């Protein structure tokens, strides 16, 4: 299939911090993800804790390494190589009212650098009614590391969290002052992908439908300017093979795209 990332998509990503890639993931890869997601959803788990699935599930690992996603991330980030950082499955059941709190991702992670992005793949039809992801356009360019939160079971912001010695910017009350911000959301079909920068503010409403799941699979990739950093709030992402300032290349953060590598 032709690449869904061209000069228009790159320009949109750099300007807005997010870009929708229609039909980015073909039917074969979608089936692989749906099969893996069905297995994962057989067990109860908190909203944000379906994570690092590629390390134990071969189907998620195949997607993270060999699907078009690493190449798309490389193009959007203008990166010479791409490391797999982490993956997560986000599932909002019909009637799940919890709102995913506004946040940006990088303050949670043991990383420093600019070339960090998420490829967020729709596994179901997604609309505002069942929890479409919302972003604040251009917020990545503010270059702010906003106060992380500890979520409750459903993913809503509960309590503030911090890493020793780290400082954060106060998180604006986006929801209370929505008219002040350029908020965007997209209806998505299965196989569409939303790519967004790790400093882009994003969140999502609950799923108010009676019968439509909202499942999405997110893979986080890092480019060649990214270095390992401690401390971070998500200590479960620490990598004992690395020390602060190291490139990410390691078993836990493998290189999944580089010039001359297989597509």
With bands split at pLDDT 50, 70 and 90, how would you rate the model's confidence at 46?
very high
Distant-in-sequence, close-in-space partners of 144: CB < 8 Å, separation ≥ 6:
104, 169, 199
Is residue 263 included in any domain, yes or no?
no
Tell me how many degrees the CA angle 80-83-87 measures, rounded to the nearest 5: 140
Whole-angstrom distance between the N-terminal and C-terminal Cα of the chain? Answer: 11
User: pLDDT, tens digit, for every residue of 139-179?
Assistant: 999 999 999 999 889 998 889 999 999 999 999 999 999 99
What pLDDT sits at residue 158? 84
User: pLDDT, tens digit, for every residue of 98-141?
Assistant: 999 999 999 999 999 999 999 999 999 999 999 999 999 999 99
What pLDDT sits at residue 260? 67
> How far is Cα 204 from Cα 175, in angstroms, rounded to an integer?
10
CATH number of the domain bearing residue 220: 2.60.120.620
Is residue 255 included in any domain, yes or no?
no
Is residue 13 included in any domain, yes or no?
yes
User: pLDDT, tens digit, for every residue of 195-246?
Assistant: 999 999 999 999 999 999 999 999 999 999 999 999 999 999 999 999 999 9
Residue 2 predicted with pLDDT over 80: no
Provide the number of structural domains found in the chain.
1
Is residue 248 included in any domain, yes or no?
no
Is residue 146 included in any domain, yes or no?
yes
Bond before 231 cis per omega within 30 degrees? yes
> How far is Cα 88 from Cα 213, in angstroms, rounded to an integer?
16
Is residue 250 included in any domain, yes or no?
no
Domain that holds residue 20: 7-235
What pLDDT sits at residue 261? 55
Is residue 224 included in any domain, yes or no?
yes
User: pLDDT, tens digit, for every residue of 176-202?
Assistant: 999 999 999 999 999 999 999 999 999
Is residue 261 included in any domain, yes or no?
no
Token output for 109? 């992670």
């Amino acid at each position: 299939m032709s690449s869904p990332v061209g000069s228009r998509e790159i320009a949109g990503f750099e300007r807005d911090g997010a870009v929708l890639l229609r039909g980015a993931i073909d039917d074969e890869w979608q089936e692989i993800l749906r099969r893996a997601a069905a297995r994962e959803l057989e067990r109860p788990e908190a909203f944000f804790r379906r994570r690092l699935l590629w390390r134990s599930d071969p189907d998620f690992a195949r997607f993270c390494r060999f699907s078009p996603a690493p190449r798309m991330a490389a193009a959007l980030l203008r990166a010479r190589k791409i490391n797999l950082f982490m993956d997560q499955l986000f599932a909002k059941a019909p009637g799940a009212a919890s709102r995913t709190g506004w946040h940006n991702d990088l303050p949670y992670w043991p990383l420093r650098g600019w070339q960090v992005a998420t490829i967020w793949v729709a596994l179901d039809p997604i609309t505002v009614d069942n929890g479409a992801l919302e972003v604040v356009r251009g917020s990545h360019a503010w270059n702010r590391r906003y106060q992380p939160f500890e979520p409750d079971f459903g993913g809503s912001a509960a309590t503030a969290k911090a890493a020793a010695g780290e400082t954060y910017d106060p998180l604006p009350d986006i929801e209370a002052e929505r008219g002040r911000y350029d908020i965007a959301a997209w209806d998505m079909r299965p196989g569409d992908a939303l790519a967004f920068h790790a400093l882009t503010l994003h969140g999502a409403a609950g799923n108010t439908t009676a019968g439509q799941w909202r499942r999405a699979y997110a893979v986080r990739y890092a480019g060649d300017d990214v270095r390992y950093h401690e401390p971070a709030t998500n200590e479960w992402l620490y990598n004992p093979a690395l020390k602060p300032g190291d490139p990410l290349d390691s078993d836990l953060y493998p290189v999944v795209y580089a010039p001359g590598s297989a597509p």
